[in-house]
A and B are shown apart, each in its own frame.
Chain A
């Protein structure tokens, strides 16, 4: 149990050499590797953290966009519904208007056709009535229908009420043109003279006369001057008959439309 001094010194040197070599080939590389790895892991963790944050940010953005999109979708949907409702109402209104227009047109058509028919009937009746009246008057009296009508006209002038007479005098005296006398048939000179005399008697003045034939009067005589009109003709009675028939036809159409 003694110390070999050479061995002791050699072992100290050995230890120092070993220390230097191990430091160079073991501790340094290992510690460096550990440090490098730790740095790498830290960097990776940081990177992961950054990515996570970015992902979170993107997620939030996406969520926000989604919400905006949903809201816009809802708004658009609402708008579309409102527009379609408005459009529907508009279309309905248009359809209703069209239907009303069609109804009105139809009514007018029916009315027109009714009126046409009535007119035709009236004309036919007028003609029939004229024919019958003519025949009847001819059969009943020795005078012709024309003579009767002239007599009736003269009678009407003579039987005028006082205020009507004044009105007639006022109108005829203030005229400039000759007094126009329209008749459905040609008046004989005698008839013309009779008419002139009766009017002159009323006016108490000699007046100028102009005689014209007007077939639309059918039977009758019409006196006109300055817008004043005095007449007797069968067309008045026929017009009255026609009016009454038209009223009756209109009533029928209205009832039919209300039912239909």
Chain B
């Protein structure tokens, strides 16, 4: 029994391996990009808009709102990263309704890649927002003693992100596979429905956590901005 789509290899040459994870990812990417282009090609700026445009606008504005609620004042800056993460994970997880489909998120390599992306993005956004010193200061908050704990937390949360998503999705797929052999009728369908919910929730959790981490890293400059605002008012 294959636990990961990484194990399904189509082509291999030394270090380079083209496996099911990569192929599925490319197909999903292609689909997302083509759909986006098709929909945004005919965007209207009138009061009446098409249904697809409405759905996309709802999605984008919803994400913007969520990012803002967590504490990032300018969501347009972060939606590229956080939004893409949510859309990719959610879409990859929702496609489990297609028989024989194995989501790339059930591969630890993919989830680890996403977690590493978050791990790298957090300091990048933090430095971009409040400078190197400002960002580094967040490691000694609230006191200097917390520095090692903060570093450990940084690493462990990245690991947790990767494993959480991987565990949830992989387990979902595994359960359906196992159940198919035990109770092939109806029950796997219910589990698939449950898997859809889990997939969406996991996408949400992953993105929200990434946002929270970024928000924490940019907290310094945010708090300064808030103070400035208060002073001005």
Contacts and interface: CB of A to CB of B under 8 A. Distances in A.
Which range holds the interface residue count of chain B?
Answer: 35 or more
Nearest to B88: A18
A33 B22 CA distance: 33
B142 interface: no
Interface string A1-32: 11111111111101111111111011101110
Interface in B67-102: 76, 79-81, 83-85, 87-88
A12 B57 contact: no
B83 A12 contact: no
Interface of A is mostly: helix
Nearest to B85: A15
Given A11-B109, A14-B25, A17-B29, A33 B57 contact: yes
B22 A26 contact: no
A34 interface: yes
A8 B116 contact: yes
A240 to B, nearest CB: 121
B36 A22 contact: yes
Contacts of A11: 21-22, 25, 104, 109-110, 113-114
Nearest to A10: B22
A29 B87 CA distance: 17
Which range holds the interface residue count of chain A?
Answer: 20 to 34
B40 A37 contact: no
Interface stretch (B44-52, B148-156, B212-220, B224-232): B44-52
A31 to B, nearest CB: 6
Contact of B4 (A1, A8, A18, A33): A1
A40 interface: yes
A1 B170 CA distance: 10
Contacts of B133: none
Interface string B40-65: 10011111010001001100110000
Interface of B is mostly: helix
A9 B37 CA distance: 26
A130 to B, nearest CB: 128
Contacts of A29: 40, 43
A147 B6 CA distance: 189
B43 A22 contact: no
A2 B107 CA distance: 9
A61 interface: no
Given A18-B88, A19-B84, A29-B40, A8 B117 contact: no
A143 interface: no
A170 interface: no
A25 B33 contact: yes
B10 interface: no
Contact of B15 (A6, A16, A25): A6
Contact of A25 (B22, B37, B114): B37
A22 to B, nearest CB: 5
B60 A31 contact: yes
Interface of B: 3-4, 6, 15-17, 19, 21-22, 25-26, 29, 32-33, 36-37, 40, 43-47, 49, 53, 56-57, 60-61, 76, 79-81, 83-85, 87-88, 104, 107-110, 112-114, 116-117
